[in-house]
Amino acid sequence: MLNLIIADASLETIPIDLYKHHSFKKIRHSGKKPDDILLDRSFHHFAMVATNLDNRHKRGRPDILHIALINALATPLYQNNLIRVFIHTINDNVIFVGSTVRIPKSYLRFEGLMLNLLKNRKIISNEGQILLEMRDHTKFDYLLREIIKADIVVGLSTTGIYRKLELIATDLLEFSNPCMVVGGFPKGYFSDGVDSSFNKKYSISNVGLESQVVISRLIYEYEKNVLA
């Protein structure tokens, strides 16, 4: 079984300091609480800059996670239960993605689902199956060693050694529980806690590629080896 971690993803509600900023006045008056709104650079860029939000170049991009998940979960590999998907956020939250999840393509529905997850820590189907589960304060290393128990960890990064993706995908067949790590952030590099955990770090292109492109290609190459 292949494991995929979308790492350093940003998914959080409005930090309280940001909520106090004057650009949120209208929202405060509307009765919406910080927990009712995902941090989203499209809308909160000005406040993020004005309040000097820590690590802000990686934050406020739930749209990246949305599109990455849509791509990963629409693949035959996932639908045949041959890949497990995890999200690790820059705030050290881990989200476990169940094996039969359909992520809504509509962003507003996705936003509602994520707010529900952040509040209730679990999304359960009508049939009682856990679709999404969130666990706080889970370091990346703990996820790898104690939860996934990966026998190899391969990160994809522009700072890695160049290797053809089809070869990387074939290498994985030698392991029983390999884990691939793809960044879920807009630019910059993996955080130190993530980067230091890789057994191998590869670059698959001479240009930086967006998360959903890397995820789509990786799953496709791996799928060729394990699905007829």
> Interface with its own copies by CB under 8 A: which residues?
40, 42, 61, 63-64, 67, 70-71, 74-76, 79, 104-109, 205, 207, 209-210, 212-213, 216-217, 220
- Based on CB atoms, which residue is closest to its own copies, 48 or 150? 48
Rounded CA-CA distance 72/69 in Å is: 5
Shortest Cβ 176–its own copies spacing (Å): 26
Distances, alpha carbon 133 to alpha carbons 24, 69, 87, 196, in Å: 30, 15, 10, 26
- Based on CB atoms, which residue is closest to its own copies, 92 or 111? 111
Spatial CB neighbours of 69, under 8 Å, sequence gap ≥ 6: 6, 85, 87, 97, 103
Shortest Cβ 141–its own copies spacing (Å): 29
Shortest Cβ 153–its own copies spacing (Å): 24
- Based on CB atoms, which residue is closest to its own copies, 82 or 147? 82
What Rg do the C-alpha atoms of the chain give, in angstroms? 18
Shortest Cβ 222–its own copies spacing (Å): 13
Rounded CA-CA distance 42/46 in Å is: 9
Q: Which amino acid is at 75?
A: T
Shortest Cβ 49–its own copies spacing (Å): 17
Of 208, 115, 121, which Cα lies nearest the Cα of 160? 208
- Based on CB atoms, which residue is closest to its own copies, 41 or 201? 41
Task: Name the DSSP letter for residue 92.
Answer: S
Give the N- to C-terminal CA distance of the chain in Å, as an integer: 16
- Based on CB atoms, which residue is closest to its own copies, 78 or 140? 78
Shortest Cβ 92–its own copies spacing (Å): 24
Rounded CA-CA distance 2/84 in Å is: 6
- Based on CB atoms, which residue is closest to its own copies, 65 or 194? 65
Q: Which amino acid is at 130?
A: I
